[in-house]
Amino acid sequence: MKKRFSVGLLLAAAAAAAPRGDDGVYASHLMVDQEVTVAARITGIVATILVDRGSAVTQGQVLATLEASEFDAAIRQAKEDMDLKKIEYERAESLVASSVMSPQDRDTQKAQYLVAVATWERAKAVRDYCVIRAPFAGVVTEKYARVGEKVIEDKNDPLFKISATDPLLARVYLPEEKLLRVRVGDRVAVTADRFPDVKTTGEVQFVSPTVDPASGTFQVIVRVRRDPGKTVLRPGLAVQVRFAPDAR
């Protein structure tokens, strides 16, 4: 009798743990498409930090800067060399016109000038890497940078983690028998799992063209409507996605 009772409890527990779906409701977690760790592209010393955890940022906004004096000096040196090579090249042009210099020697001067131009442009580009910018609009979810810290290019030292706020997505896995009953553009209802009064809607954005043979399910991604008045809706939140009763 005890054995039968134990088996009954195990079966009941398994049924309770099984994912919902028979009623068109599927568990998921909200997520975003973009989340990146921002690192410096050059070796340098962190000079300023302009944002903190929780800061909302726009694409291209300055997050931090590195000390730039060494890079400014490199630009000045490259500019002086470029100006000198330009003068030498222009003089060579006039000497060729006067038949004093051969065209081959003039071409050598030209090549040296072009190399100097490229060196100057590269120095300016490297200097621009002293400014650390947000790659897209979002929120700073982690700040690792410290003023005075030395960051090394090859180590890819993390400075910030940026998470996009839109679009807000939910991924669910439906049984294969639903494959022809769900289409891109279908509307769904979304409810916060632990906050049942927080409800919104969503739209099917992607239906996988393949079925996982192991589980017999296919992936569906829903774009969730973000209601400014419902701030609890954020990446990582557990939600329930309810599909409309089968109409097809």
Could you tell me if residue 2 is inside a domain? Answer: no
Give the whole-angstrom CA distance, residue 17 versus residue 19. Answer: 6
pLDDT at 2 over 70: no
| Residue 46, number of CB atoms within 10 A of its CB | 20
User: Counting Cβ atoms within 10 Å, is residue 42 exposed (0-12), middle (13-18) or buried (19+)?
Assistant: middle
Structural domains in the chain (count): 2
Could you tell me if residue 92 is inside a domain? Answer: yes
pLDDT at 8 over 50: no
CB 151 within 8 A of CB 40: yes
CATH of the domain at 171: 2.40.30.170
CB 185 within 8 A of CB 203: yes
CB 66 within 8 A of CB 47: yes
Could you tell me if residue 88 is inside a domain? Answer: yes
Could you tell me if residue 237 is inside a domain? Answer: yes
Task: Tell me what the mean pLDDT of segment 110-115 comes to.
Answer: 95
pLDDT at 175 over 90: yes
Could you tell me if residue 48 is inside a domain? Answer: no
Beta strands in the chain (DSSP E): 25-32, 35-39, 44-49, 56-57, 62-66, 131-133, 138-143, 150-151, 158-163, 168-175, 187-192, 199-207, 217-224, 238-243
Same domain, 73 and 29: no
For the chain, the average pLDDT equals: 87
Give the whole-angstrom CA distance, residue 110 versus residue 248. Answer: 72
Question: pLDDT tens digits, residue range 202-215?
Answer: 999 999 999 999 99
CB 188 within 8 A of CB 198: no
Residue that terminates a domain, selected from 83, 113, 128: 128
**In the chain, % of residues over pLDDT 90:** 71
Domain holding 173, by residue range, is 20-34+165-243
CATH of the domain at 119: 1.10.287.470
Give the whole-angstrom CA distance, residue 64 versus residue 159. Answer: 9
Residue that terminates a domain, selected from 79, 107, 128: 128
Does the model's pTM come out above 0.85? no
Between the alpha carbon of residue 122 and those of residues 6, 22, 127, the distances in Å are 73, 61, 9
| Residue 86, number of CB atoms within 10 A of its CB | 15
Q: What is the pLDDT of residue 103?
A: 87
Same domain, 234 and 181: yes
Between the alpha carbon of residue 130 and those of residues 89, 121, 153, 183, the distances in Å are 33, 15, 12, 47
Residue type, 219: Q
Residue that terminates a domain, selected from 77, 108, 128: 128
Question: pLDDT tens digits, residue range 40-82?
Answer: 999 999 999 999 999 999 999 999 999 999 999 999 999 999 9
Same domain, 182 and 228: yes
Could you tell me if residue 153 is inside a domain? Answer: no
